């Protein structure tokens, strides 16, 4: 399941349907928005996406991960729009027979997402704003 949404991500909405009797591992990763970056105090963030392409890239990453690590279930949910501090911007839920597969898959998914999925993050400070990934504010 791939979801890009402007709504608040509620883990409980996705977790129940992720469990299955053939899995011994159900791993949840939450990317959350923090209140500081590079010594600056962050008030909130905004995410923008090229949604159609982002869904396509996430599906490629998901399909590869399911195949490589024999995942029984995988959900990737990314939020866009304005996100307050400490809210979830990224939720990944992976289930597999054993824990190693889920751990490796999630590490790979987050890493690939940050390299190739067309989503952009902008931080807002009390005294300005900055796109992450720009030369003066690397990802």
Partner 1 sequence: MKITVKLFGPHKEKLKKDSIFLSLSDNSNISDLILNLNQFEPGFKENIKSYAIAVNLIYQDKDFKLHDGDEVAIIPPVSGG
Q: Is residue 119 involved in binding partner 1 (CB under 8 A)?
A: yes
Distances (CA, A) of 63 to 26, 56, 130, 133: 18, 11, 33, 26
Q: Do 59 and 2 meet the contact criterion of CB atoms below 8 Å apart?
A: yes
Look at the block and give the residue holding tokens 């987050």.
Answer: 110
**Residues in 31-60 that interact with partner 1 by CB under 8 A:** 31, 47-50, 52-54, 56
Among residues 89, 97, 106, 128, the one that binds partner 1 under rule CB under 8 A: 89
Q: Which is nearer to partner 1, 61 or 71 (CB)?
A: 61
Element containing residue 118 per DSSP (H, E): none
Q: Does 131 bind partner 1 (CB under 8 A)?
A: yes
Q: Exactly one of 6, 34, 99, 118 binds partner 1 (CB under 8 A); which one?
A: 118
The answer to whether residues 110 and 79 touch, using CB atoms and an 8 Å cutoff, is no
Smallest distance from the beta carbon of 83 to partner 1, in angstroms? 12
Taking the complex as a whole, the smallest distance from the CB of residue 80 to partner 1 amounts, in Å, to 9
3-state secondary structure (DSSP) of residue 94: strand
Contacts with partner 1, residue ranges (CB under 8 A)? 31, 47-50, 52-54, 56, 78, 89-90, 110, 113-122, 131-135, 139
């Amino acid at each position: 399941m791939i979801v890009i949404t402007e709504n608040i991500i509620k883990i409980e909405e996705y977790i129940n349907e992720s469990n299955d009797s053939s899995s011994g591992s159900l791993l949840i990763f939450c990317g959350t928005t923090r209140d500081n970056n590079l010594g600056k105090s962050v008030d909130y963030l905004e995410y923008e996406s090229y949604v159609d392409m982002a869904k396509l890239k996430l599906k490629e990453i998901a399909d590869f991960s399911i195949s490589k690590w024999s995942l029984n279930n995988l959900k990737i949910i990314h939020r866009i729009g304005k996100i307050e501090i400490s809210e979830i911007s990224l939720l990944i839920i992976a289930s597999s027979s054993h824990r190693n597969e889920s751990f490796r898959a999630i590490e790979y998914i987050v890493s690939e997402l940050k390299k190739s999925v067309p989503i952009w993050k902008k931080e807002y400070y009390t005294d300005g704003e900055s796109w992450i990934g720009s030369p003066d504010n690397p990802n």
